[in-house]
Chains A and B, each alone.
Chain A
Amino acid sequence: DGGITQSPKYLFRKEGQNVTLSCEQNLNHDAMYWYRQDPGQGLRLIYYSQIVNDFQKGDIAEGYSVSREKKESFPLTVTSAQKNPTAFYLCASSLGTSGSSSYNEQFFGPGTRLTVL
Chain B
Amino acid sequence: EDQVTQSPEALRLQEGESSSLNCSYTVSGLRGLFWYRQDPGKGPEFLFTLYSAGEEKEKERLKATLTKKESFLHITAPKPEDSATYLCAVQATSGNTPLVFGKGTRLSVIA
Q: B41 and A111: CB pair below 8 A?
A: yes
Docked CA distance A109–B42 (Å)? 8
Q: Are B44 and A108 in contact (CB under 8 A)?
A: yes
Query: Does A101 lie within 8 Å of B87, measured CB to CB?
Result: no
Whole-angstrom distance between the alpha carbons of A50 and B98 in the complex? 10
Is B72's CB within 8 Å of the partner chain A? Answer: no
The answer to whether B43 and A106 have CB atoms under 8 Å apart is: no
- Tell me what chain B mostly uses at the interface: helix, strand, loop, or mixed: loop
With a cutoff of 8 Å between Cβ atoms, the chain A residues found around residue B104 in the complex are: 42
A41 CB, nearest partner CB in chain B, Å: 7
Check A105/B96 contact, CB under 8 A, given A90-B43, A110-B43.
no
Given contacts A101-B31, A105-B49, whether A41 and B43 have CB atoms under 8 Å apart is no
**Cα–Cα, bound, A6→B51 (Å):** 30
B91 close to A (CB within 8 Å)? yes
- Chain B interface residues (CB < 8 Å from chain A): 31-32, 34, 36, 41-46, 49, 51, 87, 89, 91, 95-99, 101-104
Interface residues of A, Cβ cutoff 8 Å to B: 4, 6, 33, 35, 40-43, 45, 48, 50, 58, 88, 90, 92, 97-98, 101-102, 104-111, 113
19 extra A-B contacts, CB within 8 A, seeds A97-B98, A110-B42:
A33-B98, A43-B101, A45-B98, A58-B98, A90-B44, A92-B43, A101-B31, A101-B34, A104-B91, A104-B99, A105-B49, A106-B34, A107-B46, A108-B36, A108-B43, A108-B45, A109-B43, A111-B41, A111-B43
